[in-house]
Amino acid sequence: MNLIGKIVLVTGAGSGIGRETAKAFAKEGAKLVLCDIKPEAVAETADLIGSAVVLTDVVDVASKNSMKAFAERVSAEVGVVDVLVNNAGVGLAGGLLDVSEEDLEWVMNINLWGVMHGCKQFVPKMVERKQGGHIVNVASAAGYYASAGMLGYNTSKFAVFGFTEALREDMRPFGIGVTTVCPGVVHTNIINETRMAGAADEAGIRNKIDKIYAKRGYGPDKVAAAIVKAVKKNKGILPVTPEAWVMYVMNRISPVFSHWLFGKVERASTPETAGSSFTHPQYKR
């Protein structure tokens, strides 16, 4: 896909992977439609990008009504979206005995329903136009590798992975490409905004894991570059970061061995936070 002049919509564009993805598409000559639940964050992203941004809005992706109103505005003011990037997401740490039903509803409403709302509101017009397009759904390495203490997050990302795989086949007859993005350890602000059910020392755990992620040194700009490349080449499944690729390949070859090996690696590399969901490399945005 030649991205010059194409309309690219990015949800959760106020920070992290969303912001960097918007910037990366702008460099390719695309026109950007951006939304985020935080007005000051999406405004800052728009200021950083400049004239390539044609519309911004404050949207709760978990709300069908909010997404519907956003889609109606985009259709009226900008037109049909060429590339849809469902990026908005949140983190939830904790096992079954820690998380509440409200916690589970929260993470599923944003991480899964946010993606499905985006597809239901914007993809039908792509189909009607009969000019192709591309859909990018940001899942995670947590979408194919499960860990103790990440029950809600794993559930939401496994669901996004499965939904997107089915969507790829669903959209094939219409010439619309679909990419499942699965990052591993990427240093963004998700740790500071994640719900940590059952944690005794939230501040201490956040500080330790943030240092681990910072030391890892893999920024969201690298994920954004991979997303742009995947859209151009119509790539299907896109693990990002070396560990995400290793997990993906090993999990396909031998899931039992993969879980045993990475469990040992996680416990050995971060003993001071053993038992915290944030010791696992699937938290990324």
Confidence band (pLDDT; 50, 70, 90) for 226?
very high
Structure tokens that stand for 180 in this block: 């499942």
Q: Is 281's pLDDT higher than 90? A: no
pLDDT tens readout for residues 24-79: 999 999 999 999 999 999 999 999 999 999 999 999 999 999 999 999 999 999 99
Phi, psi dihedrals of residue 145, rounded to the nearest 5°: -135, 110
Tell which wins on pLDDT, 253 or 156: 156
The per-residue pLDDT for 66 is 98
Residue with tokens 């695309």: 30
For range 107-127, the mean pLDDT? 98
Q: Kindly report which listed range (24-38, 51-65, 184-198, 231-245) carries the lowest average pLDDT score.
A: 184-198
Please list, in sequence order, all residues whose beta carbon lies within 8 angstroms of the beta carbon of residue 247, skipping any fewer than 6 positions away. 141, 144, 145, 184, 239, 258, 262, 281
Contact between 149 and 94 (Cβ < 8 Å): yes
**Would residue 235 be called left, alpha or beta, if left means φ above 0 and alpha means ψ between -120 and 50 degrees?**
beta
Catalytic-residue membership of 153: yes
Contact between 258 and 145 (Cβ < 8 Å): yes
The per-residue pLDDT for 99 is 92
Tell which wins on pLDDT, 264 or 99: 99
Confidence band (pLDDT; 50, 70, 90) for 267?
low
> What sign for the dihedral angle of Cα 94, 95, 100, 103?
positive
Give CA angle at 106 (103, 112), nearest 5°: 125
Q: Kindly report which listed range (116-130, 222-236, 265-279) carries the lowest average pLDDT score.
A: 265-279
Q: Which of 153, 218, 248, 283 is catalytic?
A: 153
> What is the torsion angle, in degrees rounded to the nearest 10, for the CA atoms of residue 272, residue 274, residue 275 and residue 276?
60
d(CA 112, CA 105): 10
Burial of 223 (0-12, 13-18, 19+ CB in 10 A): buried
Contact between 211 and 192 (Cβ < 8 Å): no
Tell which wins on pLDDT, 110 or 217: 110
What mean pLDDT, rounded, does the chain reach? 87
Q: Is 96's pLDDT higher than 50? A: yes
Q: Kindly report which listed range (42-46, 67-71, 141-145, 242-246) carries the lowest average pLDDT score.
A: 242-246
Q: Which domains does the chain have, with CATH numbers?
A: 7-279 (3.40.50.720)
The per-residue pLDDT for 94 is 87
Residue with tokens 């969507």: 167
